[in-house]
Amino acid sequence: MGLLDSVLGQVLGGAQQQPQGGGGLGDLGALLGGAGGSAGNLGGLAGALGGLLANNGEHGGLGGLVSKFEQAGMGDVIGSWVGKGENAPISGGQLQDVLGSDAISGIAQKLGINSATLLPLLATLLPTLIDHLTPKGQVPAEGLGTNDDLLSSLSGLLQKS
């Protein structure tokens, strides 16, 4: 099982352990396992994440995302994801406060899901993903690269065992 598979399994496993009303993270299975198969839909998810993390994304790359968190008074949270050690949790509501409703709606629309489904997914996936993309415990000076570079990194994570 690849690293990204493991992360997604944790997301799905965590959703099954958390008591939630309809929707919830269990919808990730439908998102990744739809008619196009997980690989086809993974491209959509990776593309949406690229908008958040890639240097040529809408948010100025990982550095821009860190700045948004700092401006929202949550620099310590994203700092824990980048740094070594335990990742601080974030709620979907906090994530929406940091990124803004328009950004969340745009990502949800790209994925064909609603914001209520997307927010807990991002709140679970983003800390782990950023943690794995910053193994040295700091934001790379050159960022994470372009959207294509990020897709390649995500593909590499998927193939690692």
- Residue 50 CA to residue 57 CA, distance in Å, equals 6
- Over residues 49-59, mean pLDDT: 78
Which residues does 114 contact at the CB level (< 8 Å), separation at least 6? Answer: 23, 108
Q: What is the reported pLDDT for 158?
A: 55
Per-domain residue ranges for the chain?
Answer: 3-8+43-159
Whether the pLDDT of residue 68 is over 80: the answer is yes
CATH number of this structure's domain 3-8+43-159: 1.10.10.690
Whether the pLDDT of residue 41 is over 80: the answer is no
- Residue 119 CA to residue 138 CA, distance in Å, equals 25
pTM of the prediction? 0.71
> Which is more confidently placed, 156 or 93?
93
How far is CA 20 from its chain centroid? 20
Whether the pLDDT of residue 15 is over 60: the answer is no
Residue 55 is classified by DSSP as T
Q: Which two tokens stand for residue 79?
A: 């700092």
**Dihedral sign for Cα atoms in the order 128, 133, 138, 139:** negative
Contact 69, 139 (CB under 8 A): no
Whether the pLDDT of residue 1 is over 50: the answer is no
- Over residues 106-117, mean pLDDT: 89
State pLDDT tens for residues 115-146: 999 999 899 989 988 998 888 898 888 887 77
Whether the pLDDT of residue 62 is over 80: the answer is yes
Helices (H), 18-59: 27-32, 37-53
